[in-house]
């Protein structure tokens, strides 16, 4: 099984709700991230991962926002516009935490098989301008 990673972002001063999640998604979509022709998602904390095509994004986004309003874990996957194999799942964990699960084959440090978290944080940097965070935690697993 391939090793990969996750970036956890915690906040203490704001509540991550549907509008904050929407702001995060819009910020990413306006700063180098995109919805693939086919993308994956999960709603209602079921861990029943599904995929659909980009034409259904609006419907899926409404389901995700409903999950968030009910306090249930959910995610939508995004790919970086420069390389579709650079992908993250933008995961709502709870009202204080969001996670970026690195999917596909992660970008690794030179001559190592360890995820290069700085590569991903640089590409996610735009969200740190729109949400107040107090901790970023990177996990390699």
Which pair of structure tokens corresponds to residue 63?
A: 């389901």
Residue 11 has pLDDT above 80, yes or no: yes
Q: What is the pLDDT of residue 27?
A: 96
- Per DSSP, the residues of 87-130 read EEEEEEEETTEEEEEEESSPPB-TTSSSB-HHHHHHHHGGGGGT
Identify the structural domains of the chain with CATH numbers, from first to last.
Answer: 5-140 (3.30.310)
Q: What is the pLDDT of residue 3?
A: 58
* Measured distance CA(49)–CA(59) in Å, rounded: 16
Q: What is the pLDDT of residue 12?
A: 82
Q: How many C-alpha atoms does 56 have within 13 Å on its Cβ side?
A: 12
């Amino acid at each position: 099984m391939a090793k990969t990673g996750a970036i956890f972002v915690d906040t203490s001063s704001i509540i991550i709700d549907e509008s904050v999640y929407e702001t995060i998604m819009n910020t990413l979509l306006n700063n180098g991230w995109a919805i693939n022709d086919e993308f994956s998602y999960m709603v209602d904390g079921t861990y029943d991962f599904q995929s659909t095509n980009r034409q259904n994004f609006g419907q899926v986004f409404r389901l995700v926002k409903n999950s968030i309003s009910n306090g249930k874990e959910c995610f939508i996957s995004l790919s970086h516009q420069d390389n579709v194999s650079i992908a993250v799942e933008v995961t709502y964990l709870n009202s204080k935490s969001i996670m970026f699960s690195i999917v596909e084959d992660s970008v690794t440090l030179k001559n190592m098989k360890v995820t290069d978290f700085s590569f991903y944080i640089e590409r996610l940097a735009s969200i740190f301008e729109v949400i107040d965070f107090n901790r970023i935690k990177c996990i390699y697993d």
